[in-house]
Each structure stands twice: as structure tokens, then as C-alpha cells.
Chains A and B, each alone.
Chain A
Amino acid sequence: MGTFNLKKNWGPALIHLFFWGFTIVSLVPFILVFMVSISNEDSILQNGYSLFPSQISFAAYQFLFNDFSEIAKAYSVTIISTVIGTIVSLLITALFAYPLSRADLPFRRTLSFYIFFTMLFGGGMVPWYMTYVNMFDMKNTIFAMIIPNLLLSAFNVLLMRSFFATSIPESVVESATIDGASELKIFYKIVVPLSLPIMATIGLFNMLAYWNDWYNCMLFIDKPELYNIQYLMTKTLTNIQYLLMKSNSSAQVGELLAKMPRETVRMALAIIGIAPLLFAYPFFQKYYISGITSGAVKG
């Protein structure tokens, strides 16, 4: 009897063991960075980074909060571009996707191909960059962190189109047309309320793309006061002095640098940079997972 049970429970137990391992592997890097950020600088110099800090200290956070203006500025750039970008891109995507979902739309195939072709071929990064810099003069403007490449993803349009096509009953649209409702009214009174799940999913995808973006900032922004939080983090990772150089004279920098708990400050900045996302994650993971699974592969 005992051996029978053992044999029967072997499989599930092994599977759980495997997933605990997987969970730990996924989380450990975050925990390590957090632990370093609350370690005492001297203990780091002695023992290196450790998951179990021998001495806890919040000096790094104190140091960062002491002069929080750089981080606050970078955060406000991130928040502004994320909010504007997410709203505008959701709007453009939905406005583009809805007409395409209507079987009776003239030029439907042409328009679909127009979108689809952008997924197959591109001119490459150089002419793309030059279009924005030379034709539209976006260098060092906040628009450069909102418009290039992020505003509309062809994939999202196709995803939303198939949602509209399958879940908005044709009869509803037809009867509204007979009642004399205009297309715009049908769109915002009927289509949008019926498609809140896909709106939430695409909105979430867009929001993450804006929040995590450093690429556009790296390409288009030279002015430190326009850096977003991701790019401020990039700069600081390679050069810890970067945090100090902007708001202080060189004499002050030397003095501050001597006092600065360098190793821990770097990791504390990383924690400040990811904290909002990590806190929000439990609330939005549900939508994110269902977005991935519903969107599954084919648009």
C-alpha cells in the first residue's frame, strides 16, 4: 500500500518541485538586487552581494531621497509619455481596427495589406531615425518618446480587428444603422463598451511598452532633463557618478562621491525604478496572462 501511494504521488511531487525551482529562479535576481540595496556598504565591500545581508542599512535610499529631483524629473517624463502614449495609441488602434472588422468596408483588403506589409518589410533603423530627426525635427522633444514605433503596433491592430469581428454581433450594428445612428456614435456607444476586455489588454501592452522604453530616449534625447527613468537607470549602471554630475559642481561631486555608498545606491536606484511595476503586477497579471492567451499567435 505504502509503495503504491509513493509511486502515485511521485509525479505530482516532482512537478511541484520543478515549479518551485522555476519560481525561485524567476524571483532570485529581484531579491538579490533588493537585498543589496538594503545592505550596509561596508559589508558589501567585505562579503560581496549576498541574499542574506549581514548588516542592514537604508543609507542608499537616504542618499537617493536626499536629492530626489533627478529621479522625480525622470519619473515625470516616464509618466507623461506613458499616459499620453497609452491613451492615444489605444484610440488610434481601435479606430483603425473597427472599420477593418466590418466585412462591407470598401478597400478593406487594401487597408489590411497596408498594415500587414509593415510587419514583413522595413527600411531599417537608419532611415527611420532620419525620418523623425530630419523630417519631423523630433530630437530632444517629448514627442520622440511617444511617437516613434510605439504609437501603433500592426500586430495589435490585427488582434483587435479579429476581436471586433468575432464578438460584435452584426445585427446590433445593423439595427443601430437603421435607427439612424452615425458610424461614430455606433463606435463609441456600442463597439467600445462591448470590447472592454480587448481594450484593457491592448492598453496594458501599450502601457508596458511605454513604461519600459529606453530605446527612443537613447536615440532621440541628448538633454539630461528629458531622460526618462529607464534611461537614467541605463546611464547610472555604467557610470554611478552620473547621478551626481548633473545637479552639482565638480568640487561638490568629488565630495559627494566620497560619501556615496556606491554599490548599494546603484541597486537602490534599480529598486526605485522597478517598484511601481512590481507593486502593480499582482493587480494586472490576470489581464496580462489572458491577453497573451487570447491573442495567441495568429492575429
Chain B
Amino acid sequence: MQDTGTALRKQEHIRSATQKKQSNLVRSLKKYKWLLLMTLPGVIYLFINNYIPMYGVILAFKNLNYAKGLWGSDWVGFDNFKFLFNSPDAYLITRNTFLYNITFIILNLIMAVGVALLINEIKDKVISRFYQSTFLLPHIISMVVVAYLVYSFLNVESGMVNRLLMKWLHIDAISWYSEADYWPYILVIVNAWKNVGYLSIIYFASIIGIDKEYYEAATIDGASKWKQMTRITIPLIAPVITTMTLLAVSGILRSDFGLFYQVPMNTGALIPTTNTIDTFVYRAMIQSGDIGMSSAAGIYQSVVCFVLILVANAAVRKINKRDALF
């Protein structure tokens, strides 16, 4: 008897608690109606632009038949992935994307931090600003324009590089747009040209944030400029370096489509060294219409990147919690 009584009371209690919770929710929804409505356009946009395509992951496991539609098409399990990984392309595009990114990360980091340390040595604000805005210029132009600029150097008949090679070194003209071997170097240079200025400004911003007292104390102790850079500046901007590198590493299978598509001018002969996962996905979809394989390659990229960012973040969390992204 007593047991049922307690049970009843318990139930009553739970019911009133949920009711209270509900009415609280209703009240706060009412109170924050406008604020919540303000987020609506953004929520809908992200739903369309990002969440619906996540749903589209199933494309990679189907043999798309336009007549049957996405849902009616046959499931093929991992066939698309099997095709992809059995083709020589899978290895090539993974290798290219990976190696380019490793090179970009290391070279750009060294150059950008170096440049940032040097801008910090310029005491004249006006001159410092002038330098910063000129080397930021390459960063604001589109890859189409970059492709034009590169073409003006590498064009076979009249490009400046060939003309100079012939004039000064008496070497025959090199047909840059049909020799794949040169492109890893060319693209590394182009990427650095476009991004080092931008990255250095990010590092420079964090250098300015360092308390001047550290340097004053170091100068009194007789520390050289070099010592100050290596013992004060670099350790203090290490968190920013870590975050930037972490972000870059987690995107190691992503590539700048424009750099690998526009700059080599989509030339067939250059594909062995300029094809990356992103250009492969595009070509497989648009040029060969292979929806299954191209979406499989896209998923492969997304999943690897997702895992990498979680692992990288966990690793950083372990070393220093404050530097972690989330």
C-alpha cells in the first residue's frame, strides 16, 4: 500500500517537474522569440549548404540512376570505393595532395615566421605598413589572375623565363606547360608567393601582442637580438603557431582547387604532378560523369580530415589544453 503511494507521489513529482520544465521552455521561447528568429536565415542556409550534402554521403554507396532518382538507385555497398582504391589514381592523388601540403606547411611556416620577426624589427610604422600592404597584395587576387601572372612568366614562346634562359644561359626554351616534372617546384613557389605575406601578418599580429617588458628586461641583461627572438618571441607566439599548424595539418588531404586547376591551366600533360583529390573529384564528376567514384573520393577526403582534426586536437589538448581548438 505504502509502496504504491510512494510510486504515485513519485510519478506526480516527475509529471510536475516535466510540466514545469515545459512551461519554462515555452516561457523562454516566448521571451527569446525574436532572438531565435534572427538565427533562422543562417540556420536554414547552413542546413541547405552543409547538412543536406552530408546526407548525400549515401551517393557514394549507390549506383546513381537519374531515372530512378537518388532514393530509387541501387545500393552497391563499397563498390565505388573498391573501384577508386583499385585505380592508380587513388594513390597518385593522395600522394600529391599529401606531399604538397607537407611542403606548404613547413616552408610557409618558416618563411612567414621569419618575415614576421623581421617586420617587428622595423620601427618606422609607415614603412612597416607599406611593406605589409604590398606583400598582402598577392593574397587578395583570384587564382585566375595568378594563372595569368604565371603564364606571363612561363609561356613557351614569349614568356619571360624562357626568354631570359635563352638570352643569359643559352639554353633551349623549355615547354613548361607540357613537362610535369617542373610543376611541384612551380606550385610551391606560387603558393608561397600568394600566402606567405598573409601568414606573416597573422604571426606579426601576435608578436605585437607580446609585453614589451620582456624585451626591456632582456636588453638590460645584455641579451642579443638573436637571443631575444629565439628565447622570447618564438616561445611566446608558439600557441598561434600550434593552432595554425594544427588547422593546416587537419586539412592535409584538402587542396586549393584554384592552385591546382587554374595555375596549370587544366593541362592534361601536367596531371601526374598536379592532380589532387579536389581536382580529381571535379574531373570525375564533370568530365567523366562518374558520380559514384567522385563522391566516394570526396567522402574519403572528408572522413580522413575529420579523423585528423579530432586526433590532432586531442594531441594538442594533451600537451597544452589552452592551445586546443575545442
Cα–Cα, bound, A23→B143 (Å): 20
Q: Is the CB of B138 within 8 A of A121?
A: no
Q: Is the CB of A127 within 8 A of B148?
A: no
Interface-facing stretch out of A60-68, A89-97, A195-203, A250-258: A89-97
Q: Which residues of B contact A27 (CB under 8 A)?
A: 134, 137
Q: How many A residues touch the partner, as a band?
A: 35 or more
Assess whether A190 is interfacial by the CB under 8 Å rule. Answer: no
Assess whether A75 is interfacial by the CB under 8 Å rule. Answer: no
Q: How many B residues touch the partner, as a band?
A: 35 or more
Instruction: Add 5 more A-B contacts to A130-B70, A288-B136, A293-B205 (CB < 8 A).
Output: A27-B134, A120-B309, A270-B149, A273-B145, A289-B133
Q: Is the CB of A48 within 8 A of B35?
A: no
Tell me how far the C-beta of B36 lies from the nearest C-beta in chain A, rounded to whole angstroms.
7
Q: Is the CB of B56 within 8 A of A183?
A: no
Assess whether A9 is interfacial by the CB under 8 Å rule. Answer: no
Assess whether A171 is interfacial by the CB under 8 Å rule. Answer: no
Q: Mark A1-16, 1 if CB is under 8 A from B, else 0.
A: 0000000000110011
Assess whether B215 is interfacial by the CB under 8 Å rule. Answer: no
Tell me how far the C-beta of B151 lies from the nearest C-beta in chain A, rounded to whole angstroms.
6
Tell me how far the C-beta of B173 lies from the nearest C-beta in chain A, rounded to whole angstroms.
10
Q: Number of contacts between A and B (CB, 8 Å)?
A: 273
Q: Which residues of A contact B45 (CB under 8 A)?
A: 92, 151-152
Assess whether A233 is interfacial by the CB under 8 Å rule. Answer: yes
**What are 21 A-B pairs with beta-carbon distances under 8 A?**
A12-B121, A22-B115, A22-B131, A32-B149, A95-B38, A99-B36, A99-B38, A115-B42, A123-B52, A123-B298, A124-B53, A130-B70, A152-B42, A183-B38, A212-B142, A214-B258, A230-B142, A234-B144, A237-B144, A273-B145, A297-B202
Q: Is the CB of B193 within 8 A of A25?
A: yes
Q: Is the CB of A292 within 8 A of B118?
A: no
Q: Is the CB of B309 within 8 A of A49?
A: no
Q: Which residues of A contact B302 (CB under 8 A)?
A: 121-124
Cα–Cα, bound, A234→B151 (Å): 12
Cα–Cα, bound, A45→B309 (Å): 51
Given A96-B39, A106-B29: A118 touches B134 (CB 8 Å cut-off)? no
Assess whether B240 is interfacial by the CB under 8 Å rule. Answer: yes
Determine the residue in chain B with the shortest Cβ distance to A14: B118
Q: Is the CB of A127 within 8 A of B53?
A: yes
Q: Which residues of B contact A30 (CB under 8 A)?
A: 137, 149
Q: Is the CB of B266 within 8 A of A238?
A: yes
Q: Which residues of B contact A237 (CB under 8 A)?
A: 144, 147-148, 151, 265
Q: Mark A266-299, 1 if CB is under 8 A from B, else 0.
A: 1100100110010001100100110011101110
Cα–Cα, bound, A21→B137 (Å): 15
Tell me how far the C-beta of A95 lies from the nearest C-beta in chain B, rounded to whole angstroms.
4
Tell me how far the C-beta of A92 lies from the nearest C-beta in chain B, rounded to whole angstroms.
5
The 7 A-B residue pairs with the shortest CB-CB distance, nearest first, are A127-B56, A124-B298, A96-B42, A123-B53, A293-B205, A48-B163, A212-B142
Q: Restricting to A96-137, which residues have a CB under 8 Å from any CB of B?
A: 96, 98-100, 102, 104-107, 111, 114-116, 118, 120-131, 135-136
Given A33-B152, A123-B56: A50 touches B301 (CB 8 Å cut-off)? no
Assess whether B168 is interfacial by the CB under 8 Å rule. Answer: no
Q: Is the CB of A296 within 8 A of B206?
A: yes
Q: Is the CB of A297 within 8 A of B295?
A: no
Q: Is the CB of B145 within 8 A of A131?
A: no
Tell me how far the C-beta of B94 lies from the nearest C-beta in chain A, rounded to whole angstroms.
15
Spell out B's residues near A (CB within 8 Å): 25, 28-29, 32, 34-36, 38-39, 41-43, 45-46, 48-57, 59, 70, 115, 118-119, 121-122, 127, 129, 131-138, 140-145, 147-153, 155, 157-160, 162-163, 193, 197-198, 201-202, 204-206, 208, 225, 240, 243-244, 247, 257-258, 262, 265-266, 278, 281-282, 285-286, 291, 294-295, 297-299, 301-302, 305-306, 309, 325-326
Assess whether A157 is interfacial by the CB under 8 Å rule. Answer: yes
Cα–Cα, bound, A147→B49 (Å): 9
Given A26-B138, A126-B56: A152 touches B148 (CB 8 Å cut-off)? no
Q: Which residues of A contact B50 (CB under 8 A)?
A: 118, 122-123
Tell me how far the C-beta of A248 lies from the nearest C-beta in chain B, rounded to whole angstroms.
24
Assess whether A79 is interfacial by the CB under 8 Å rule. Answer: no
Assess whether A149 is interfacial by the CB under 8 Å rule. Answer: yes
Q: Which residues of B contact A194 (CB under 8 A)?
A: none
Tell me how far the C-beta of A283 lies from the nearest C-beta in chain B, rounded to whole angstroms.
11
Tell me how far the C-beta of B279 lies from the nearest C-beta in chain A, rounded to whole angstroms.
11
Given A48-B159, A106-B36, A121-B302: A126 touches B152 (CB 8 Å cut-off)? no
